[in-house]
Amino acid sequence: MGAGIAYVSAQAGMEVVLLDTDQANAEKGKAYSEKLLKKALERGKTTQEKADKLLGLIKPTTNYDDLKGADLVIEAVFESRDIKAEVTRKSEPMLAEGGIYGSNTSTLP
């Protein structure tokens, strides 16, 4: 879900920090956007320049410090109270003053 949120956010022109537990997972999240853009290029729905610009807006990372000054953070981790609490505890302090913290949650056990 986080990869999809990253993609549509970048489509809207937003800089995206795609944070995950390890760099390989973060890169996998960005690869989702690459896959969608490859299909869009094949279908003539976008240009290479636009695809490159969109991908340039997505920064995969494991470092919470990369969130510093963010206007918007959307948490999209597994449905686990403990994991969500840890991610919230680490990421909320990184928000810019007046920033918004959102959670993508369908249910909690």
- Per-residue pLDDT tens digits for 96-105: 999 999 999 8
Residue 10, burial from CB neighbour count under 10 angstroms (0-12, 13-18, 19+): buried
Per-residue pLDDT of 72-92, as tens digits, reads 999 999 888 899 999 999 999
Supply the pLDDT for residue 109.
Answer: 63
Tokens of 69: 């000054």
Domain boundaries along the sequence of the chain: 1-62, 64-109
CB of 75 closer than 8 Å to CB of 103: yes
**Does this model's pTM top 0.85?**
yes
pLDDT < 50: residue spans in the chain: none
Q: How many CA atoms lie within 13 A of 36 on its CB side?
A: 17
